[in-house]
Amino acid sequence: MSQTPTPMYRRILVKLSGEALMGEDSYGINRKVIEQIVGEIKQVAELGVQIGVVIGGGNIFRGIAPAASGMDRATADYMGMLATVMNALALKDAMSKAGLVARVQSALAMQQVAEPYVRGKAMQYLEEGKIVIFGAGTGNPFFTTDTAAALRGIEMGADVMLKATKVDGVYTDDPKKNPDAVRYQSLTFDEAIARNLKVMDATAFALCRDQQFDLKVFSIFKQGALKRVVLGEDEGTLVHC
């Protein structure tokens, strides 16, 4: 009988972009893609890892972007926060269908569809083995969901923030344009800044660096990648202090 492998990380914060849910669609949620992502998360949950998720809203907000053109920035940001809650609810539904227990907490009050964000309650859910999906970003305009992910991960005492993207790490150049681009296995926050590598937005990056909160960038579309990251295998790029 094979033994369950021991995870390197016991509590993680996964940052999912809204665009990751689109698949090949121009906007919206691709059901097949969201089920695939949930399958990757389930593999990690079955290892006993505690999981928090912050999700963006670009896939939904993109569909109404022309209407938002010229809109007040704060108003547009609040609309984007609502989009993240829609994604969080879709993700929770897919997780429930996959046999996972998940809770949605929103930084904006909307008690009919999501619980308000309460740090102590979120910590309790994680300790009970439930997945917590954090919606509405930080609840404030002018801050991205990258910053929300850094903030929630630090608040939850997560071991690492895992930024799930379409690219399997941080490269010396755009791998789609330059086939000779090399993936970094690891680098420091200062090295990433010095080399002008676009890992995440500056506010989130500074928060991770100042709080010594490690970041791992990997592809959520590479089968088994999330599990390999959690097990400490050579997958993606580690950004550290």
Q: In which band, very low, low, confident or very high, does the pLDDT at 23 lie, cut at 50, 70 and 90?
A: confident
pLDDT value, residue 63:
61
Which pair of structure tokens corresponds to residue 144?
């991205």
pLDDT value, residue 64:
63
HSE (side-chain half, CA atoms, 13 Å) at 28: 6
Find out whether 144 is annotated in a ligand binding site. Answer: yes
Which pair of structure tokens corresponds to residue 143?
């801050």
pLDDT value, residue 73:
87
Find out whether 237 is annotated in a ligand binding site. Answer: no
Q: Answer whether residue 3 shows pLDDT above 80.
A: no
User: What is the SS3 assignment for 51-67?
Assistant: EEEEECCHHHHHHHHHH
Find out whether 145 is annotated in a ligand binding site. Answer: yes
Q: Answer whether residue 177 shows pLDDT above 90.
A: no
**207 within 8 A of 150, measured Cβ to Cβ:** yes
Range from 23-32, 133-142, 181-190 carrying the lowest mean pLDDT: 23-32
Residue type, 207: L
Find out whether 16 is annotated in a ligand binding site. Answer: yes
Find out whether 15 is annotated in a ligand binding site. Answer: yes
pLDDT, tens digit (0-9, with 9 covering 90-100), for 67-118: 667 788 898 899 999 999 999 999 999 999 999 999 999 999 999 999 999 9
163: number of Cβ within 10 Å: 26
Find out whether 57 is annotated in a ligand binding site. Answer: yes
Find out whether 18 is annotated in a ligand binding site. Answer: yes
pTM: 0.94
- Radius of gyration, alpha carbons of the chain: 17
Which pair of structure tokens corresponds to residue 149?
């992910």
Distance CA 70, CA 3 (A): 57
Q: In which band, very low, low, confident or very high, does the pLDDT at 228 lie, cut at 50, 70 and 90?
A: very high
Distance CA 161, CA 15 (A): 7
**220 within 8 A of 56, measured Cβ to Cβ:** no
pLDDT value, residue 87:
95
pLDDT value, residue 125:
98
Q: Answer whether residue 65 shows pLDDT above 80.
A: no
Q: Answer whether residue 218 shows pLDDT above 70.
A: yes
Find out whether 138 is annotated in a ligand binding site. Answer: yes
pLDDT value, residue 173:
86
Query: Best-predicted range by mean pLDDT among 3-7, 21-25, 75-79?
Result: 75-79
Which pair of structure tokens corresponds to residue 43?
């593999």
How many angstroms separate the Cα of 76 from the Cα of each of 68, 70, 86, 142, 157?
7, 9, 16, 10, 31
Distance CA 85, CA 107 (A): 9
Q: In which band, very low, low, confident or very high, does the pLDDT at 183 lie, cut at 50, 70 and 90?
A: very high
Q: Answer whether residue 62 shows pLDDT above 70.
A: no
CATH architecture of 11-240: 3-Layer(aba) Sandwich (3.40)
Find out whether 17 is annotated in a ligand binding site. Answer: yes
